[in-house]
A and B are shown apart, each in its own frame.
Chain A
Amino acid sequence: MGAYILRRLLTLVPTVFLITVLGFIIMELPPGDYVDRYILQQQAQGNTGIADQEAMLRVRFGLDKPAAVRFTHWLGAFARGDFGDSLAQNRPVRTIIGERLLLTFVVSFCAFLLSWGIGIPLGIYSATHQYSKGDNFLTVTAFLGLGLPDFLIALIFLVLAWRVSGDVLTGLFSSEFTTASWSWAKFQDLLRHLWIPVLAVILTGTAWVMRVMRGNLLDVLNSNYIQAARARGVPERVVVWKHGVRNALHPLVSALGQTLVWLVNGFTITSIVLDLPTIQTVYLNATLSQDIFLGGTILILIGLLVVIGTFLADILLAWLDPRIRFS
């Protein structure tokens, strides 16, 4: 197992490097650079003399050097935790991301834990009670959860909450708390807002996990080794949990990496709709304004998250399945 983890860790190195290169290239793709845009913006505001300072601005932002040099510098700094300054906001990228990262992780992680924590037991129930009233109810609910996009569900909740309380629960805090320092009241206010995105995302997530678990378990429960376990007198409860569920988890764990991507991607529209200060909205704005250090850093962070997710999934799979561990 140790050797397997080590081998898997080594393959991470080229993958991570490729992510940084790709991230950098993608951010370089749009025509023009930040200085071009900055000058246009200033000229539109009547600052006609700005065009003369073009070369000086390029030097100031380090944009005069060849791309390879800029990339190496940037990567070196990146490894030291210095992500550079946001060109648009004139603040360190690290500070901007730091403000948002915690919240994004809280929402994503809650959504992930809840959708797996609820989806797996419901899927098991569904599979072991196939075509019962409970299974049929869960099936219909799951199709709703899967059929409606999460941002739409979030909007529905938003409207419902507004009809009930009269408050529009966009953003994370009510206006009176936005700048206030942390207090019990502010925390309560946060919870009052946070349930909408979390619930919207976990509804979709739970539905997906549940359907996958149900299907997998039904397949597994029809397999020969399950009948063989019953034939040797193993109680049904043990047959389902020890032999059934453990084997049925396999495809779900393989999809763990994708699930993390989904949590990041699937959450973007919901964040925008609800005006949440998550990393996704920052990323979108950074891309729109060609803020390459900010956008590139976030892109790489998302990429790393995917790589880490896949890595964890592989370790978990190897633990679950001896055929992988010993190959």
Chain B
Amino acid sequence: MSAHDASSLLSVEDLHVHFHTEQGTVQAVNGVSFTVGRGQTLGVLGESGCGKSVTGFSLLRLIRPPGRIERGRIVYHGLDTELDLVQEPSRSPLLRQVRGGEIAMIFQEPMTSLDPVYTAGNQVLEAINYHLDVSQAAAWDMAVTMLGKVGLPEPQRIMHTYPHQLSGGMRQRVMIAIALACHPQLLIADEPTTALDVTTEAQILELLQELQTDLQMAILFITHDLGVIAEMAQEVIVMYLGEIVERTDIESLFAEPLHPYTRALLESIPRLGTRDGKRLQAIEGVVPSPADIPLGCTFHPRCPDFMPGLCDVHAPTPQTLTDGRQVQCFLYDDQRPGVRNLQS
């Protein structure tokens, strides 16, 4: 898929986001490129700390000091003209219009994502009033409708309740109502169900799918949960230490994972019938700190297919396979010596 395909809504090109902390520079996102198609769901998969949230926040230019977008482009194609969000001044009205109006976000922590001192209604109205030129009465009606749409009972009453009076699941529904109040074309969902119990999780996922069909929006769905991603995404990018190591369609992700990291991730989930009391196989080793990224391929210290002299010296480049899948690993690089090609 080319980055400037007519069907693409957002394309990220070579994005680098670093945090300049007192302990040193944390390279949270390191040359990430991907495209989200209109109305599509792109899944972002990876272990904790691999830079999923930082990527999501970057798209809305919500990275605060000491963090900084060092390099790259985030091109939004949803307006009449192409807009590179990286180039927008941080307080530009256009950027504000995009936030919530074109691209909205829901967060990992529904318990703390609502301001505790204002009612749910106040915060839904805020989203509407800063984007649409409507009367107070009309805005109120829109907010109530939206709260009803996300499955909250008695939306009129919810308008007057404070966040602490709502459960986690209800708060996440309010967050979804806020995010979708102005009908954005892209929703960034950053692990929206991680903090919720399993039943609530299923309900929220179902709700998101309904609303996606209803509102024709694209979703960037961030998660570390393979089960969730199977349910939500058509296409998946797998992240490791701030890089995309694999991009694949959802069927191939499970049928034929390419990158050793992706394979290890899949092996780490317990399968039905194999739960004989043994510990499930977690990936060997720990994620290195993004402040101290290994030389060569960043996964080599944990990789079962590690090739000495190659993986710890050279950094692999993304390889596109014939079926369009992409993987960043020497195992699939014909130009390197000693490479086996799984395509044959």
Binding site for B on A (CB under 8 A): 130, 222-236, 242-243, 246-247, 320-323, 326
Which of B112, B115, B130 meets A233, CB within 8 Å?
B130
A233 engages B162 (CB within 8 Å):
no
Write the nearest CB–CB distance from B132 to chain A, whole angstroms: 11
Q: Which 5 A-B pairs have the closest CB atoms?
A: A233-B100, A232-B100, A322-B162, A233-B99, A232-B127
A282 to B105, CA, bound (A): 62
Within 8 Å of chain A (Cβ to Cβ): is B179?
yes
Q: Which of B48-65 contact A (CB under 8 A)?
A: 57, 60, 62, 64-65
Which of B64, B91, B98, B113 meets A228, CB within 8 Å?
B113
Other than the given A225-B115, A228-B114, A322-B119, 5 more pairs (CB < 8 A) read A227-B57, A232-B104, A232-B179, A243-B115, A321-B116
Which of A230, A321, A323 meets B62, CB within 8 Å?
A230
Within 8 Å of chain A (Cβ to Cβ): is B164?
yes
Chain B residues, CB < 8 A from A229: 115, 123, 126
Chain A residues, CB < 8 A from B116: 225, 247, 321-323
B164 engages A231 (CB within 8 Å):
no
Within 8 Å of chain A (Cβ to Cβ): is B96?
yes
Write the nearest CB–CB distance from A257 to chain B, whole angstroms: 21
* Chain B residue with Cβ nearest A131: B65
A227 engages B164 (CB within 8 Å):
no
Name the residue among A130, A222, A229, A231 with the largest chain B CB count within 10 angstroms.
A231
A224 engages B112 (CB within 8 Å):
yes
Write the nearest CB–CB distance from A160 to chain B, whole angstroms: 40
Write the nearest CB–CB distance from B94 to chain A, whole angstroms: 11
* Chain B residue with Cβ nearest A226: B115
A320 engages B115 (CB within 8 Å):
no
B112 engages A223 (CB within 8 Å):
yes
A232 engages B178 (CB within 8 Å):
yes
Binding site for A on B (CB under 8 A): 57, 60, 62, 64-65, 91, 96-101, 104-105, 107, 109, 112-119, 123, 126-127, 130-131, 162, 164-165, 175, 178-179
Chain A residues, CB < 8 A from B97: 233
A230 engages B115 (CB within 8 Å):
no
A226 to B117, CA, bound (A): 12
Chain B residues, CB < 8 A from A223: 112
Write the nearest CB–CB distance from A6 to chain B, whole angstroms: 21
A232 engages B112 (CB within 8 Å):
no
Write the nearest CB–CB distance from B44 to chain A, whole angstroms: 17
Name the residue among B107, B113, B131 with the largest chain A CB count within 10 angstroms.
B113
A320 to B98, CA, bound (A): 31
Chain A residues, CB < 8 A from B162: 322-323, 326
Chain A residues, CB < 8 A from B113: 224-225, 228
Given A225-B115, A321-B116; A235-B130 close (CB under 8 Å): yes
